[in-house]
Amino acid sequence: MNKITIIGGGNLGKSIISGLSNSNLFEAKNITVVDKSKYNLKEVEEKLGVSTSQNIIESIKDVKWVILCVQPRQLNAVLQEIKDVLTKDQILISTVTGTSIAEINEVVPNNKVVRVMPNTGAAKKLSMTCIAANDDVKEELSIVEKMFDTIGETLIIEERLMQAATVLGASGIAFFLRFLRAMIQGGIQMGFHPHEAQIIAVQTAIGAATLVAENGTHPEREIDKVTTPQGCTIEGLNEMEHQGLSSSVIKGVMASYEKINTIK
């Protein structure tokens, strides 16, 4: 139970490793990262003290959990490499975008697979991780849930919603950050230095998200509390909507969703 190997120490892999290595669930020495890139391995070894390897086969020996953290087009090569050495009791946890449990089981039919979609907030223990598995994977599902609880929030969903979860939760980090960047640019235009505008915009974003997260209110209820009749907030909000803010965000989300359904 206590050993885990992550295949792929790239953007997402590093975020997960950083979160897991700072949790109580796995000792850093029981976390192994395998990557083709020496540069990635050196970075995680030095920063996080986890074990590293360039040999996939060696790295999954005697390990209960194997996280697949490679790009969709790299997955088949990894599965082909491990399929004959995997033992039945090893559990695969796939973060790979757009690849279903059934598609993974076509190559490795004897292993249980849990599909997860975390985000890069994992590095700060603030991931939103959606998790899905088939009905026969109940016990392992709850362990995977505990695993990802150590790096943020988790939600168990139906596998059919995994693509939507990827757009909203994983790509969502980029979508929110683009809005944040625009706020910073507005702040600079009003007279702040970029670093001052960033401090103000970032703390305001944290405050806004925390109000909704902790009060459980609808965003519009919190918006009403800021919006003075005939004041500057409603002026700004209405101009943003005249320019298509909500509409462009929804269209962007749906474009991303259409794209993800074509990724293989």
Ligand X SMILES: NC(=O)C1=CN([C@@H]2O[C@H](COP(=O)(O)OP(=O)(O)OC[C@H]3O[C@@H](n4cnc5c(N)ncnc54)[C@H](O)[C@@H]3O)[C@@H](O)[C@H]2O)C=CC1
Binding site for ligand X (CB under 6 A): 7-13, 34-37, 40, 56, 69-72, 74, 77-78, 95-97, 117, 119-120, 170
Q: 167 or 197, CB closer to ligand X?
A: 167
Tell me the closest approach of the beta carbon of residue 97 to ligand A1CAB, in angstroms: 4
Q: 14 or 112, CB closer to ligand A1CAB?
A: 14
- Report the partner that residue 35 touches, choosing among ligand X, ligand A1CAB, none (CB closer than 5 to 8 A by kind): ligand X
d(CA 90, CA 65): 6
Tell me the closest approach of the beta carbon of residue 212 to ligand X, in angstroms: 22
Q: 14 or 112, CB closer to ligand X?
A: 14
- Report the partner that residue 124 touches, choosing among ligand A1CAB, ligand X, none (CB closer than 5 to 8 A by kind): none
Q: 25 or 165, CB closer to ligand X?
A: 165
Tell me the closest approach of the beta carbon of residue 11 to ligand X, in angstroms: 4
Cα diameter, the chain = 69
Sign of CA dihedral 173, 17, 98, 134: negative
- Report the partner that residue 90 touches, choosing among ligand X, ligand A1CAB, none (CB closer than 5 to 8 A by kind): none
